[in-house]
């Protein structure tokens, strides 16, 4: 009886802390919007000029902004990635963007895991599904879903990170799948940002074709799996 009360007390404390975090993020977003910082984040020329003014601290600013854009879903991360490529080139830009995206994804994952997973697990209809997702085969599929989602620009990076935290997916699987998936799309965005500054039409066309091809990868994997299963 006492143990149950303690568990309930711990659960309510997690809920309270989770609500406080959500409110803090909402206040931060409101402040960013009120101060005009969000307008700069969405304005590539202005953001590029600000990053160049920061000099030595520019790369850290890119990492922090990308991290914040993942944790705070309404903040766009695409323009930041393109600015990173325009200022630092596709190689260094990709490193900074990947570092920020991985950090943001991990933070979002743990926010959901610590403050939301226990609440979801208590739902009687959901618990059997969560138990099933703990087996190795399901873990592999969850990992594949996370990896594939990172390759599709129109799937919310932030939502996937939070949603993954509400599942039994092992953290190391989530981190590896995110890292492997975010590298190619980050490189394309930073390279696109660099070429947008140089305004090379041929390179822009090639990148557009490549980006379109990358978005088809998850669908191709699905078709291959269905063909393999039918055999």
| Residue 157 pLDDT exceeds 90 | no
- Tally the domains of the chain: 1
Q: What is the SS3 string spanning the chain?
A: CHHHHHHHHHHHHHHHHHHHHHHHHHHHHHHHHHHCHHHHHCCHHHHHHHHHHHHHHHHHHHHHHHHHHHHCCCCCCHHHHHHHHHHHHHHHHHHHHHHHHHHHHHHHHHHHHHHCHHHHHCCCCCHHHHHHCCCHHHHHHHHHHHHHHHCCCCCCHHHHHHHHHCCCCCHHHHHHHHHHHHHHHHHHHHHHHHHHHHCCHHHHHHHHHHHHHHHCHHHHHHHHHHHHHHC
Compute the average pLDDT of residues 61-83: 84
Res 167: pLDDT: 87
Compute the average pLDDT of residues 35-56: 72
Query: What's the whole-number average pLDDT of the chain?
Result: 75
Compute the average pLDDT of residues 167-187: 92
* Cα 31 from Cα 84, distance rounded (Å): 24
From the list 43, 29, 37, 31, the residue with the least C-alpha distance to 80 is 43
- Summarised one tens digit per residue, pLDDT across range 4-24 is 555 555 655 665 666 666 666
| Residue 229 pLDDT exceeds 60 | no
Compute the average pLDDT of residues 104-114: 91
- Global confidence as pTM: 0.74
Compute the average pLDDT of residues 142-159: 84
Burial class (CB in 10 A: 0-12, 13-18, 19+), 57: exposed
Q: Which domain holds residue 203?
A: 2-230
Say how many C-beta atoms besides its own lie within 10 A of residue 20's C-beta: 11
Res 118: pLDDT: 73
């Amino acid at each position: 009886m006492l143990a149950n009360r303690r568990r309930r007390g711990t659960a309510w404390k997690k809920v309270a802390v989770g609500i406080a975090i959500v409110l803090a993020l909402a206040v931060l977003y409101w402040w960013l919007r009120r101060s005009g910082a969000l307008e700069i984040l969405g304005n590539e020329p202005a953001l590029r000029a600000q990053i160049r003014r920061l000099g030595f601290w520019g790369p850290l600013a890119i990492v922090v902004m990308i991290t914040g854009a993942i944790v705070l879903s309404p903040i766009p991360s695409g323009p930041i990635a393109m600015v990173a490529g325009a200022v630092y080139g596709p190689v260094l830009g990709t490193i900074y963007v990947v570092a920020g995206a991985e950090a943001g994804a991990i933070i979002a994952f743990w926010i959901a895991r610590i403050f939301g997973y226990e609440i979801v697990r208590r739902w009687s209809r959901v618990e059997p599904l969560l138990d099933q997702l703990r087996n190795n085969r399901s873990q592999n599929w969850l990992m594949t879903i996370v990896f594939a989602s990172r390759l599709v620009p129109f799937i919310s990076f932030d939502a996937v990170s939070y949603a993954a935290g509400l599942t039994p997916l092992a953290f190391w699987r989530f981190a590896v799948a995110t890292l492997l998936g975010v590298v190619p799309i980050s490189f394309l965005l930073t390279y696109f940002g660099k070429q947008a500054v140089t305004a090379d039409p041929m390179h822009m066309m090639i990148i557009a074709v490549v980006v379109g091809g990358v978005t088809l990868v998850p669908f191709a994997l699905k078709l291959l799996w269905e063909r393999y299963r039918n055999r």
